[in-house]
Amino acid sequence: METNKNYFEEFEHIFDNEQKCIDYLYNLRWEKGWKCLRCSHNEHWKVGDMKYKCKKCGYQSTVISGTLLQRSHLPISKWLKSAWYIANETGCANALEMQNMIDLGSYHTALSVLNKLRTAISRCEKPKLKGTVIVDDVFIKSDADGFPYHTYIAVENRENEYGQICMELHSQTDYFSFIKKNIAIGSTIRTNGINIYAKVPEKYYLTLIKRKSGSKMLPLIEDVVYEILNRRLLGGRQSSCSYLNYDLCLEECCYKFNRRNKNAKFIFCEILKGMMY
């Protein structure tokens, strides 16, 4: 397994000590100025490397209080380096690789860090799909011996090319709820018209579409699934994906697919903002 990736050279250059990492999180969390978590007062004393005391009520908090990092004993630099890894890794993140590259101690710790970062990804802004959107359900897996997961999938149809996508586990939602949650009202939903797909919720429009001859998937959805598998955006066992956290793997997959034209620094910053709230 590769344990040294050259994109860490830039990270080490930017964040060459722990305080720079703490300062970066401080500026992300309080970009409009520090504010007490208890009384919202904006004046404080600094009483530690990342601890602050409110001048009004005396409440003490740290830069990670009330965030996904709260109670973490890892250095902030390792959290940032883990986020950097996910932002630069084009495929599905791998907890074992993170453990080795970032020196996270145990595999259990690496998996915990990875899942918290995936939770942060799930908090990132996700504009609803709009326009013409193809909706279906697929069984999708990332490797030859992996278990296929039944998921709803929606793909924006932009002049016969795909735009943004969203996916959710079939067992965790239903067809109408999936549409209402992920697709803007007034959009045209394209389906195969079979069984539940013969209707759409109110304020949406329905058109029918046929599969290509010999294909098990609708057009564009087949192309999207191929790209997901080709780019290894959904991990099997080697990428720390199991049924217990597969919903988070889907979040990472859709996030990276939809941010495919964004640079790694933008993604890094966005993920860390998701950690702060």
Residue 245 near residue 115, CB atoms below 8 Å: yes
DSSP class of 189 = E
- Residue 139: is its pLDDT beyond 60? yes
196 compared with 148, residue with greater pLDDT: 196
Q: Nearest Cα to 53, choosing from 32, 72, 38, 74?
A: 38
Q: What is the pLDDT of residue 173?
A: 96
- Measured CA to CA, the distance from residue 199 to residue 31 in angstroms comes to 46
Between CA 23 and CA 30, with CA 29 as vertex, the angle to 5 degrees is: 85
* DSSP secondary structure string for all residues of 111-169: HHHHHHHHHHHHHS--PPB-SEEEEEEEEE-SSTTSPPEEEEEEEEEETTEEEEEEEEE
**Burial track 191-227 (b if 16+ CB lie within 10 A, e otherwise):** bbeeeebeebeeebeeeebeeeeeeebbbbbbebbee
Domains and CATH numbers, the chain: 132-262 (3.30.420)
Q: What is the pLDDT of residue 144?
A: 52
pLDDT tens for 141-152 read 756 556 788 999
What's the mean per-residue pLDDT of the chain? 92
Q: What is the pLDDT of residue 236?
A: 58
pLDDT tens for 34-63 read 999 999 999 999 998 899 999 999 999 999
What is the pLDDT confidence band of residue 240, given thresholds at 50, 70 and 90? low
What is the pLDDT confidence band of residue 213, given thresholds at 50, 70 and 90? confident
pLDDT tens for 103-116 read 999 999 999 999 99
Q: What is the pLDDT of residue 140?
A: 86
Contacts of 101 (CB under 8 A, 6+ apart): 3, 4, 5, 8, 85
Q: Nearest Cα to 152, choosing from 134, 138, 165?
A: 138
CA 70 remoteness from chain centre: 20
Q: What is the pLDDT of residue 4?
A: 57
pTM: 0.91
Q: What is the pLDDT of residue 51?
A: 95
Q: What is the pLDDT of residue 163?
A: 96
pLDDT tens for 145-175 read 567 889 999 999 998 899 999 999 999 999 9
